[in-house]
Amino acid sequence: MSGVLIERQAEKLRQQLAKDLAADGAVTSEAWKAAFAAVPRHVFVPRFYRQTPNEQPAVDESTPDAWLKGVYSDQLLVVSPDVKSSSTVPSLMAAMLEALDPPDGHRILEIGTGTGYNAALLSHRLGDSNVVSVDIAADLVKDAQTRLASIGYRPTLGIGDGAEGWASGALYDGIIATCAPNRVPDAWLDQTRPGGRIVTPIATGVAVVDIKPGRRGEGQFLPVSAFFMPLRPTPRPADLGSQIADITSAVAPTRPTDLDDKVWFDGDFRFVLAAALPGLRFLSKLPTGVTIFTHLDGSWARLDNGTVAQGGDQQIWNAVEAAYEQWNDLSRPKRDLFSISVEPESQHIRLEGRGVEWVLPRVP
Ligand SMILES: C[S@@+](CC[C@H](N)C(=O)[O-])C[C@H]1O[C@@H](n2cnc3c(N)ncnc32)[C@H](O)[C@@H]1O
C-alpha cells in the first residue's frame, strides 16, 4: 500500500473510531470527539506486538491492513516487545480525559508519555504550550517527541520519575496519569493548584480527585476498570524460577478452601482486592494446576485442587477470603460507588455509609 493510500485508509478508520467512541458514550464532549477525530494514532504506534499465548508477533506497515485496523480499534496495544510501554485503550483514555474536563487554557501535566498519543490529544485540545508530559524512559520520550513534532505538536516533554511530577512547570490545573501509583504522590498534590483535578489509576480503578489547599483532596472512582502498569521502578521479586521452585517445595500446613484462582480475574472484585491487599501478586499457574500468589512482603499462598498452603509474615489467602466475604456482604459494589479521600498524613478508599475504609499505602 502506498503512503497516500495508508493515510487515506487511516483517516477513514480514525473518523470511524471517533464516531464509535461517541456512540459508546466514552467520548461525551464535542471537544474530545474533535481531538480523537484529528489526532492520528498510527503516527504514535508505528508497530505493535500482538499478544498471543506463545508469541508476540510484530504488526506494522508491512501488513498495512492489519496494522491500521489494530491501531484504530478500541484496544490496548503493546508497543515494546518487553511490554515496557503500551498505548492505552482509546475508550479508557477518553473516559479519563472527559473526567479531567479541562476548559480552554488549562495547563495539564501528563505522567507516562509512552507513545505520545495522549500528549497529542491534550495538545490538540489545549494547545501545546499548556501541556507537559513526563516519562521515566528516555528512549520513549525521544521517539514521542519526534512523532509529535512530525504532526506539528510541541508540548514540553520531560524525562524523569513521574512520582516527582515536573516541578518546573507547576502549578498545573490538572494532572493525568497513565501509569498507576499506590496512592496520589505528594509531589502531584504540591504541583496542582487548589481547585484543580488529578485523574489517576489507583487500585485498578480511575480516581478523579479534586484538589484542596494543604495536600488535601476528595474524589470518586470512575465505573471503568483500569489495569495500568505501576509507576516504575517497581520492587523486583527475586528470580521468578527460583521463587516458584521454593514455594512449590515449601512445607506448610494445608487446609481446604472454597475460593480458587478465578477470583483474581473477577474485574469488580479485583478493585476491592487491590484496595484491601495492595501488595498481592498472581505469580504463576503451573502446568500441574497449582497456582501461586505472592505478596511484596514475601508472603505466599499455594492453591492446589481445593486446598491452600501459606507461608511468610501474613496468611495472604486468609486475607483474600476475608475480602471476598466482605465484598459479597456488601452486595458486590462496583468501582464508582467508592470514594477516595486525600489527607496530608493518609489517603483512604471508602464505601460511604458502609463502614468500609482501606488505607492506601505510601509504598506497596
Ligand atoms: C500505558 S503507558 C502510557 C501511554 C501513553 N500515555 C500513551 O499515550 O501512549 C505507561 C507509561 O508509563 C511510563 N512510566 C512507568 N513508570 C513511570 C514513572 N515512574 N514515571 C514516569 N513514567 C513512568 C512507562 O514508561 C510507560 O511509557
Contact criterion met (CB below 8 Å) for 98 and 32 = yes
CA of 228 to the centre of ligand 1 (A): 9
CA of 119 to the centre of ligand 1 (A): 11
Q: At 24, list the grid cell.
A: 459508546
Domain ranges of the chain: 3-225, 240-329
- Please tell me the predicted confidence (pLDDT) of residue 240: 85
CA of 178 to the centre of ligand 1 (A): 6
Residues marked as catalytic: 86
- Please tell me the predicted confidence (pLDDT) of residue 51: 87
CA 120 to ligand 1: nearest atom = 8
Pocket (CB within 6 angstroms of ligand 1) = 84-88, 111-112, 114-115, 117-118, 134-137, 140, 161-163, 178-179, 228-229, 231-232
- Please tell me the predicted confidence (pLDDT) of residue 364: 58
CA 110 to ligand 1: nearest atom = 6
Q: Which residues contact 9 (CB under 8 A, 6 or more apart)?
A: 1, 64, 65, 68
Radius of gyration of the chain (CA): 22
- Please tell me the predicted confidence (pLDDT) of residue 329: 95
- Please tell me the predicted confidence (pLDDT) of residue 235: 62
- Please tell me the predicted confidence (pLDDT) of residue 64: 96
CA 134 to ligand 1: nearest atom = 21
- Please tell me the predicted confidence (pLDDT) of residue 236: 64
Measured by CA distance, the residue closest to atom 27 of ligand 1 is 114
CA 117 to ligand 1: nearest atom = 8
Phi/psi at 84 (5° precision): -75, -25
CA of 229 to the centre of ligand 1 (A): 8
Pocket test for ligand 1, best of 43, 47, 85 (most atoms within 8 A of CB): 85
- Please tell me the predicted confidence (pLDDT) of residue 58: 94
Pocket test for ligand 1, best of 135, 140, 142, 164 (most atoms within 8 A of CB): 135
CA of 282 to the centre of ligand 1 (A): 22
CA 114 to ligand 1: nearest atom = 27
Segments of the chain scoring below 50 in pLDDT? none
* HEC per residue, the chain: CCHHHHHHHHHHHHHHHHHHHHHCCCCCCHHHHHHHHHCCHHHHCCEEECCCCCCCCEEECCCHHHHHHHHCCCCCEECCCCCCCEECCHHHHHHHHHHHCCCCCCCEEEECCCCCHHHHHHHHHHCHHHEEEEECCHHHHHHHHHHHHHCCCCCEEEECCHHHCCHHHCCEEEEEECCECCCCCHHHHHHEEEEEEEEEEECCEEEEEEEECCCEEEEEEEEEECCCCECCCCCCCCCHHHHHHHHHHCCCCEEECCCCHHHHHCHHHHHHHHHHCCCEEEEEECCCCCEEEEECCCCEEEEECCEEEEECCCCHHHHHHHHHHHHHHCCCCCHHHCEEEECCCCEEEEECCCCEEEECCCCC
Fold of 3-225: Rossmann fold (3.40.50)
Measured by CA distance, the residue closest to atom 12 of ligand 1 is 112
Measured by CA distance, the residue closest to atom 11 of ligand 1 is 112
Tell me how long the chain is: 364
Cα torsion angle, 277, 110, 266, 71, sign: negative
Strand partners, 202: 205
CA distance 29 to 45: 25
CA dihedral 318, 320, 322, 325 (to 10 degrees): -140
CA of 100 to the centre of ligand 1 (A): 18
Domain 240-329 falls under CATH 1.25.40? no
Q: Which residues contact 221 (CB under 8 A, 6 or more apart)?
A: 205, 206, 207, 208, 271, 335, 336, 338, 339, 340, 349
- Please tell me the predicted confidence (pLDDT) of residue 237: 61
Contact criterion met (CB below 8 Å) for 355 and 287 = no
At 89-103, the pLDDT tens digits run 999 999 999 999 999
CA distance 162 to 142: 16
Which amino acid would we find at residue 215? R
At 183-241, the pLDDT tens digits run 999 999 999 999 999 999 999 999 999 999 999 999 999 999 999 999 988 666 668 88
